[in-house]
């Protein structure tokens, strides 16, 4: 299983778009690492995708429609292992900095400094402050 095949499969799953800002393709976002790490687990489904297209070279040379057909065939024949591959790809894609930035999300981790929050509006808790306590103080019994 060649790395080019893995890249072609993940780019068929997540080709990116031409939006503004544009979402990158899976390989442009660096998604192949997780699939490569789980190479043995994903090998059967990727090999079956290549077989459905007529071989690795045929899949690599195929256009987007033929690649998508091969993926649909394998998804129907091997739904569980296909779903595992898809989950690995999607999880890594939506963790990628390039994708987060394209969607307008921060890429810094939330800890230790946290994401910036708007100033707290004290009016939001005014009704709660005016309400009587909802508990009984055990020292007053």
| Tokens representing residue 65 in the block | 């429609």
- Range(s) of the domain holding residue 20: 3-110
CA 12/CA 71 separation, integer angstroms: 8
Q: How confident is the model at residue 112 (pLDDT cuts 50, 70, 90)?
A: confident
Note whether residue 75 is domain-resident.
yes
Residue 20 included in any domain: yes
Q: Model's pTM, two decimal places?
A: 0.73
For residues 93 and 99, the answer to whether their CB atoms sit within 8 Å is: yes
- What pLDDT was estimated at residue 63? 94
């Amino acid at each position: 299983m060649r790395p080019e095949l893995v890249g072609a499969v993940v780019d068929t799953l997540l080709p990116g778009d031409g939006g503004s800002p544009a979402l990158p393709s899976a390989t442009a976002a660096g998604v192949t690492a997780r699939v490569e790490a789980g190479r043995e687990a994903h090998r059967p489904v990727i090999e079956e995708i290549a077989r459905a297209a007529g071989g690795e070279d045929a899949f690599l040379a195929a256009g987007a429609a033929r690649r998508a057909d091969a993926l649909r065939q394998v998804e129907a024949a091997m739904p569980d292992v296909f779903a595992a591959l898809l989950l690995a790809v999607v999880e890594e894609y939506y963790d990628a900095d390039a994708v987060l930035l394209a969607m307008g999300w921060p890429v810094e981790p939330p800890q230790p400094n946290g994401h910036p929050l708007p100033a707290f509006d004290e009016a939001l808790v005014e009704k709660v402050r005016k309400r009587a306590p909802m508990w009984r103080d055990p020292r007053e019994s």
